[in-house]
Structure 1
Amino acid sequence: MSDVPIDLTCLARQQRQILTDLGSLREDMSVLTAIVLRQDATSPALLTEVRAMHSQHGRLANRVRDLEAQP
C-alpha cells in the first residue's frame, strides 16, 4: 500500500470516473448491438441505434461541460 492518504474527495472522484467509464462502455455496447441488429432488421434497429448514439453524444457533452467548468 502507498503512504498517500486517501480522503473522501479522492474516492468520490474515482467513483465518478468509474461510473463515467461504465456509462461510456454501456453506450458503446448499445451502439454496437444496434449496428449488429440492424443487419438483421434494418428499419427498427436503426431507431435503436440513433437513440443509443444520441445518448452517447449527450454523455460526451456532459463530460465536456464538466471539463470546461473545472478551474
Structure 2
Amino acid sequence: MADIKHVIEPERFGLWIAATFVIALLALVVALISLTRVSDLMYITQAETILLNKKIDNANTSADMPAPPVQEEQQ
C-alpha cells in the first residue's frame, strides 16, 4: 500500500491549501465588487427610467394643450 501515487504530493498539501484559500478570497472580493457595481447600475437605471417617464408625461401634457394662435402679418 506504500506504492500509491498521489496526484498531489502529501508534502505539498499545505501549499495547495494556502493557494486554494487565496483564490477563494480573490473570488469573494470579485463577487462583492460586482454586487456593488450591479447595485449602482440598478440605481442609475431606475433614475433614468423615472426621468424618461417625466419627459413622456411633459410631452403628453404639452401635446394636449392647444397650440398658440399664429399671428399673420398684414401687408
TM-score, length basis structure 1: 0.48
Q: Which has the larger radius of gyration?
A: 2
Write 1 or 2 for the structure with the bigger share of helix. Answer: 1
Higher relative contact order at CA 8 Å, sep ≥6: structure 1 or structure 2?
1
